[in-house]
Every structure is written in structure tokens, then in C-alpha cells.
């Protein structure tokens, strides 16, 4: 562990929250429908879209209408993307002449991008036509992120309101967030990335002659624009198979810093926007602090674990100083460790190093961050509502302990909210543990594993955690493009997205209809050290209780086996 590594971690973490602050305040204004300096340019576009879609922007939807719109929009997106992938061989902008995708792969990819997971069962540069990348995947990168952020806006309205029925208009939120937040932001980030050397072109590939005289084909494409929305929209699906470890996606430490900051920036910004709109800045700051502390602690722990000689080498008498297997030398252990924590904490799923090659405990931490519910700060929008569910549960148990019907941000937390919150919380263990247990015994699933023993189990657990948590990163070491894996991972992604969204929307509907109560001396404060500590405890204990046995069989067993093997 050296000073440079720590400084790199501190700078990146500091920047991600620092950037999030103004971004969040700006986004709150977009949610609220206020005018900004972009309004003169974008308002005509916005109006035009409403006219084409037949949306009456002033019409507020109840929770059912809002949810229905979210789902209808996602279903439409899925159908379009699925069709595009199945037919890409017949469609233009296919310079490399790739064929149509298999049904199970197309299902998996379509679900993956619609649910903001961006799990990739394929290698981008060897499977996807430029049309599929740009009109299919890139479009979903925007819209799935915007849908998540729209629900976050609805959540803010639910808390801000006093006996309201409407949560806002999904179509308006979708359009405004895309136009005013995601598009400008991705243009800025894409240009910055181009400046660091990331390619942006419609050429499919160039052929070069290497130093040894061999001919080499280098895949190219509109990488920078993909890369920008991939990070800020917590999508994570890379243009190339190697994702952000690929030198064209992430050429140098500067591009790495820009991308790493982009991973969590909009996630944290969502919390801040929520705080502003729900008139609960201090409370939202507490949520930011909790997410920040957990993800920072994970980064520090992983860095500590990676910045040591691999025990096997140590035994052989080699003093390497750090574990560089699976990491890019241009990033080193600090940037790789930090990225792995950010991408798993934020439901992003892009990688700049191979998670499988980390130390077993590091892999365990990465998995655990996903299993905590992708709330640190989670996917854009989804991280906020996931964190709110946790806050409701924390407030419920603790609120009873101060002798009042628990309330959060002035809204009473009662049986209906708890019922839906538990329903939402159930989804993740069901998707992760349920499918993992099946995969762990089914030969059709096991044949995809490249390793056995605890590490093999880790591969299974990681895959379903990634899918269920809508993360999208892969542990690697698993051949996932088979009917079993494509299908079950797809189902896990659907459960993780919509199995969570529907109960959350029900909670929002119920909360919105309640009066917003004024706090008194007897009200549990939802900010400050005490509450943050409480929320932290609830997240860790609840997550730990669900996944500890599974983690014990996977990464923990591997870790202890490794330690045992070192004993003389």
C-alpha cells in the first residue's frame, strides 16, 4: 500500500461526490420541471416529443399508472431490441458482416440492456453490428437509465407531497431526464474521453502490421460515446469484450479517473436531487454518507488485499508486493481495486480488471456489495429507491424503539409499506440464491464452469448476483452463452428490476397519500451519526444474514483453504 495508491483512491472518491453535488441540484430542477439554461434549446424538442407521443405533460399519474408506463415502455424496448438483434444480419450498418443472434442470446441481451444490467454474454466486437450497438444497445443505455431516474423522481414527489395521489408523469420524466441530464452529460464525458485518446469513428476496424511483421485487425467504432453513457448511466456494457480494461475503452490513468468518477457520479447525484426535492437535505446527505462509507471501506479493503504478494508466490519464495493477475499494468492495484468496488457498489458492471483474479476475499467483497442490493450508491435511480427501502426498514425497527409509530421524512411507515418493502427485499435472495442453488446441482449449468471447488461456486454466485442486482459485471471463468445461463440470468435480471420496481411503486403510492407530519422532539431524526450508523448496521446485518452461508461456501472457503495451504 503506498501513498500514491491511497491518494488515487481518495481523489477519485472525493471527485465522485464532489461532482455529484452540483449535478444533483441541477437534476432536482429538471425533475421539478424548472427552466434551466438549456431550456431555450431543448424545450421545442421536448414539446415536439410530447406531441408525437400524445402525452399531456401536466397530467400526473398515480402509482399504478406510473408503474404501468414504466413496464409498458420497458416491454416495448425489449421487443424492439430483441427484433433488432435477431435481424441484424439483414440490416445495414453491419460492416463486419455479423450474423443474427441466437434466440436465447438475443433474449439475454435484450433483457440485460432493458433492465440496465448490461450483462454481456457476447463479445461486442465479434458479435454486434454497429447498428445494434448504436440504435439498440446505446439507445437502451439511455432509456433504461432514464427510466430508473424517473422512478427516483417519483420517489422524491411521494415524500415531498402531503396527501397526494399523483407521482408525476413518467413520460415527462423520461423525456426530460434524457434530454436535459443524460444527453448533455454524456456529450461532455464523451468529448473528455476523446481528448484522452478514446476512439470515436464509424470505421469498423483497421488493419495494422505489428512490430514482428504480423497483420493485426484492430476493432474500432463509436467507442467514446458508448463509453460515456455506459458509465454515467450505470450500464456497464462495454463496446469491447474486455470492457474498460481494453486500451481503446480506457487508454490511460486520466481516462480511468474520468470513467471511475462517472460510475457513481449520477448515483450520488440522485440522492442529492432527492434530498432537495423532498425537502430533506440532511436526511439525503446521511444516505450519501452511508453509501460512501460502505463503498470506500470496500475499496480500501480490496486495495489492502490486492496489495500483497499472492500467498502462493510467497510460499515459493517470490516477493511480488502485489497481486497483478488480471489487472492492467497501466492502472495498478489501487485503481483496479477502487474500480471493482465502485462498479459493484453502483450496479455499473464495467470492469477495468478481471474480478475472478482478485484474492478470494476481494471477490467476496465485490459480490457482497452487489448482494447488499445495489445501493452504494447503486444504479441511477434504482440505487436511491433501493436505499429508501433499506431506510424504511431501519426506521421501522428503530422507530419502534423510541416509542412512536415509525416515520421517515414525515411519512408514517405502516403495515402496507413494510409488506411491500419485504416483498422487494425478498427478490434478491430469491434470484441469487435460488438460481445459484439450482445451477450448483444441474449438469447443464455446471458444464459452463471452468473451475470446480469453492472458486467455481463463486463464479455461479457472482453471475446470479450480477444479474439479480442488475449489475452486469462478470466474474469471468464462466461460459455464459448457453441456453441455461442466458435464460436463467435473463429471468434473474427481470426479477431484480421489475420484481423490485413494482413493490417500490406501491410503497411510493401509499406514502404519497399520507400526510407529511411535522417532526417533534419525539421523532427519530433520520440524519446524523446515530441514524447513519443504524442504517449501516441494518444494511450489513440484513445482507449478511441472507448471504453469509453462501459466501462461506464460496469466497470464504477459498480464502481459508488458501491460508491452510500455506501452513507448513
Partner 1 sequence: MALSKTARLDRGLLTRAALDAGRKLNPRCLLANPVILVTEGVAALATLSAAGQITAGEPAGFALQIAGWLWATVLFANFAESIAEGRGKAAADSLRASRVTTRAKVITDDQIIFTPAHELQPGMVVLVEAGDLIPADGEIVEGIASVNEAAITGESAPVIRESGGDRSAVTGGTTVVSDWLRVRVTAAAGSSFLDRMIALVEGAGRRKTPNELALAVLLAGLSLIFLIAVVTLLGLGRYSGVAIPLVVLGALFVTLIPTTIGGLLSAVGIAGMNRLLKFNVLALSGRAVEAAGDIDTLLLDKTGTITFGNRMASEVIPLRGIAADTALRAALMSSLGDETPEGRSIVSFAEGQGISAVRPDGAITIPFSAQTRLSGLEAGPTVWRKGAVDAVLKQLGITERDTPRDFAAAVDRIARSGGTPLAVSENDRLIGVIHLKDVIKPGVKERFQDLRRMGVRTVMITGDNSVTAAAIASEAGVDDFLAEATPEDKLRLMRAEQAKGRLVAMCGDGANDAPALAQADVGVAMQSGTQAAREAANLIDLDSDPTKLIEIVEVGKQMLITRGALTTFSIANDVAKYFAIVPALFVGALPALGALNVMQLASPQSAILSAVIFNALIIVALIPLALKGVRYRPVGAARLLSRNLLVYGLGGLVAPFIGIKLIDLLVSTLGII
By CB under 8 A, name the binding residues for partner 1.
162, 393, 396-405, 410, 413-415, 417-419, 421-423, 425-426, 429-430, 433-434, 436-438, 440-441, 446, 454, 456-457, 460, 515-518, 520-525, 528, 530, 534, 537, 541, 544-550, 552-553, 556-557, 560-561, 563-564
Find the shortest distance in angstroms from Cβ 401 to partner 1. Answer: 4
Find the shortest distance in angstroms from Cβ 526 to partner 1. Answer: 10
CA separation for the pair 290, 242 (Å, rounded): 31
Q: Is residue 346 exposed (0-12), middle (13-18) or buried (19+ Cβ within 10 Å)?
A: buried
Under 8 Å between Cβ of 473 and 114: no
Residue with cell string 455464459: 480
| Phi, psi angles (nearest 5°) of residue 237 | -80, 120
Under 8 Å between Cβ of 251 and 365: no
Question: Is the Cβ of residue 349 or residue 410 nearer to partner 1 in the bound state?
Answer: 410
CA separation for the pair 536, 338 (Å, rounded): 20
Question: Is the Cβ of residue 167 or residue 398 nearer to partner 1 in the bound state?
Answer: 398
Q: Which helix (H) or strand (E) holds 205?
A: strand 205-209
Cell numbers standing for residue 453: 471447488
Question: Is the Cβ of residue 211 or residue 518 nearer to partner 1 in the bound state?
Answer: 518
| Phi, psi angles (nearest 5°) of residue 217 | -100, 125
Concatenated DSSP letters of 388-410: HHHHHHHHHHHHHTTTS--EETT
Check residue 234 and give left, alpha or beta (phi > 0: left; psi -120 to 50: alpha).
left
Question: Is the Cβ of residue 13 or residue 507 nearer to partner 1 in the bound state?
Answer: 507
CA separation for the pair 217, 342 (Å, rounded): 32
Find the shortest distance in angstroms from Cβ 518 to partner 1. Answer: 6
Question: Is the Cβ of residue 83 or residue 418 nearer to partner 1 in the bound state?
Answer: 418
Under 8 Å between Cβ of 396 and 419: no
- 3-class DSSP state for residue 327? strand
Q: Distance from CA of residue 249 to its chain's centroid?
A: 18
Q: Could you give the maximum distance between any two Cα atoms of the chain, in Å?
A: 78
CA separation for the pair 318, 30 (Å, rounded): 56
Question: Is the Cβ of residue 434 or residue 483 nearer to partner 1 in the bound state?
Answer: 434
Question: Is the Cβ of residue 261 or residue 535 nearer to partner 1 in the bound state?
Answer: 535
Under 8 Å between Cβ of 204 and 120: no
Question: Is the Cβ of residue 246 or residue 411 nearer to partner 1 in the bound state?
Answer: 411
Under 8 Å between Cβ of 221 and 202: yes
Find the shortest distance in angstroms from Cβ 491 to partner 1. Answer: 16
DSSP 100: P
Find the shortest distance in angstroms from Cβ 314 to partner 1. Answer: 18
Find the shortest distance in angstroms from Cβ 470 to partner 1. Answer: 19
Of 306, 297, 319, the C-alpha closest to 369 is 297
Question: Is the Cβ of residue 220 or residue 365 nearer to partner 1 in the bound state?
Answer: 365
Find the shortest distance in angstroms from Cβ 176 to partner 1. Answer: 30
Question: Is the Cβ of residue 16 or residue 546 nearer to partner 1 in the bound state?
Answer: 546
Question: Which whole-number Å values give the CA distances from 45 to 40, 48, 49, 52, in the listed order?
Answer: 10, 5, 6, 11
Find the shortest distance in angstroms from Cβ 116 to partner 1. Answer: 24
Concatenated DSSP letters of 280-297: -HHHHHHHHHHHHHHHHH
Find the shortest distance in angstroms from Cβ 499 to partner 1. Answer: 13
Find the shortest distance in angstroms from Cβ 223 to partner 1. Answer: 39
Question: Is the Cβ of residue 66 or residue 396 nearer to partner 1 in the bound state?
Answer: 396
Question: Is the Cβ of residue 17 or residue 433 nearer to partner 1 in the bound state?
Answer: 433
Find the shortest distance in angstroms from Cβ 488 to partner 1. Answer: 13
DSSP 449: B
Of 515, 394, 499, 504, the C-alpha closest to 155 is 504
Find the shortest distance in angstroms from Cβ 543 to partner 1. Answer: 11
Amino acid at each position: 500500500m503506498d501513498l500514491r495508491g491511497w491518494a488515487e483512491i481518495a481523489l477519485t472518491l472525493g471527485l465522485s461526490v464532489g461532482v455529484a453535488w452540483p449535478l444533483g441540484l441541477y437534476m432536482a430542477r429538471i425533475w421539478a420541471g424548472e427552466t434551466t439554461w438549456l431550456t431555450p434549446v431543448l424545450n421545442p424538442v421536448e414539446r415536439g416529443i410530447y406531441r408525437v407521443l400524445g402525452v399531456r405533460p401536466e397530467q400526473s399519474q398515480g402509482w399504478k399508472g406510473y408503474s404501468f408506463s414504466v413496464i409498458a415502455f420497458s416491454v416495448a424496448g425489449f421487443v424492439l431490441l430483441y427484433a433488432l438483434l435477431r435481424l441484424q444480419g439483414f440490416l445495414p450498418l453491419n460492416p463486419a458482416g455479423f450474423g443474427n443472434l441466437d434466440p436465447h442470446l438475443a433474449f439475454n441481451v435484450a433483457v440485460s440492456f432493458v433492465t440496465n444490467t448490461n450483462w454481456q454474454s457476447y463479445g461486442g466486437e465479434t458479435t454486434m453490428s454497429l447498428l445494434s450497438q448504436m440504435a439498440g444497445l446505446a439507445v437502451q443505455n439511455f432509456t433504461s437509465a432514464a427510466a430508473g431516474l424517473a422512478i427516483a423522481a417519483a420517489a422524491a414527489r411521494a415524500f415531498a407531497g402531503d396527501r397526494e395521489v399523483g407521482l408525476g408523469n413518467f413520460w415527462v420524466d423520461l423525456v426530460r431526464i434524457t434530454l436535459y441530464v443524460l444527453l448533455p452529460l454524456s456529450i461532455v464525458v464523451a468529448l473528455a474521453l476523446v481528448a484522452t485518446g478514446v476512439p470515436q469513428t464509424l470505421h469498423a476496424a483497421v488493419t495494422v502490421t505489428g512490430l514482428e511483421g504480423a497483420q493485426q485487425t484492430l476493432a474500432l467504432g463509436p467507442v467514446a460515446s458508448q463509453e460515456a453513457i455506459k458509465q454515467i448511466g450505470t450500464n456497464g456494457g462495454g463496446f469491447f469484450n474486455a470492457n474498460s480494461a481494453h486500451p481503446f475503452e480506457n487508454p490511460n490513468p486520466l481516462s480511468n479517473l474520468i470513467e471511475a468518477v462517472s460510475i457513481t457520479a449520477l448515483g450520488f447525484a440522485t440522492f442529492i436531487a432527492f434530498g432537495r426535492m423532498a425537502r430533506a437535505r440532511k436526511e439525503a446527505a446521511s444516505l450519501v454518507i452511508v453509501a460512501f462509507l460502505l463503498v470506500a471501506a470496500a475499496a480500501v479493503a480490496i486495495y489492502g488485499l490486492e496489495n500483497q504478494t499472492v500467498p502462493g508466490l510467497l510460499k515459493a519464495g517470490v516477493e511480488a508486493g502485489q497481486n497483478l493477475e488480471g489487472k492492467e499494468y497501466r492502472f495498478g492495484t489501487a485503481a483496479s481495486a477502487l474500480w471493482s468496488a465502485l462498479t459493484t457498489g453502483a450496479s455499473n458492471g464495467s470492469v477495468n480488471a478481471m474480478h475472478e483474479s482478485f484474492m478470494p476475499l476481494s471477490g467476496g467483497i465485490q459480490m457482497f456489495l452487489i448482494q447488499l442490493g445495489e445501493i452504494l450508491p447503486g444504479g441511477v435511480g434504482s440505487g436511491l429507491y433501493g436505499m429508501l427501502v433499506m431506510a424504511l426498514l431501519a426506521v421501522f425497527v428503530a422507530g419502534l424503539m423510541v416509542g412512536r409509530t415509525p416515520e421517515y421524512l414525515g411519512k408514517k411507515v405502516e403495515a402496507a409499506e413494510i409488506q411491500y418493502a419485504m416483498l422487494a427485499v425478498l427478490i434478491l435472495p430469491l434470484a441469487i440464491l435460488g438460481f445459484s442453488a439450482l445451477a450448483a446441482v444441474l449438469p447443464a449449468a455446471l458444464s459452463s464452469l471452468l473451475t470446480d471447488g469453492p472458486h467455481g461456486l463463486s463464479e455461479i454466485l457472482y453471475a446470479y448476483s450480477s444479474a439479480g442486482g442488475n449489475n452486469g459485471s462478470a466474474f469471468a471463468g464462466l461460459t455464459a452463452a448457453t441456453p441455461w445461463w442466458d435464460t436463467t440470468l435473463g429471468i434473474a435480471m427481470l426479477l431484480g428490476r421489475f420484481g423490485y420496481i413494482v413493490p417500490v411503486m406501491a410503497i411510493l403510492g401509499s406514502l404519497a397519500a399520507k400526510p407529511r407530519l411535522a417532526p417533534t422532539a419525539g421523532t427519530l431524526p433520520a440524519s446524523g451519526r446515530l441514524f447513519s450508523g443504524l442504517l449501516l448496521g441494518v444494511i450489513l446485518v440484513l445482507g449478511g444474514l441472507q448471504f453469509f452461508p453462501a459466501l462461506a461456501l464460496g469466497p470464504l472457503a477459498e480464502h481459508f483453504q488458501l491460508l491452510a495451504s500455506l501452513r507448513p
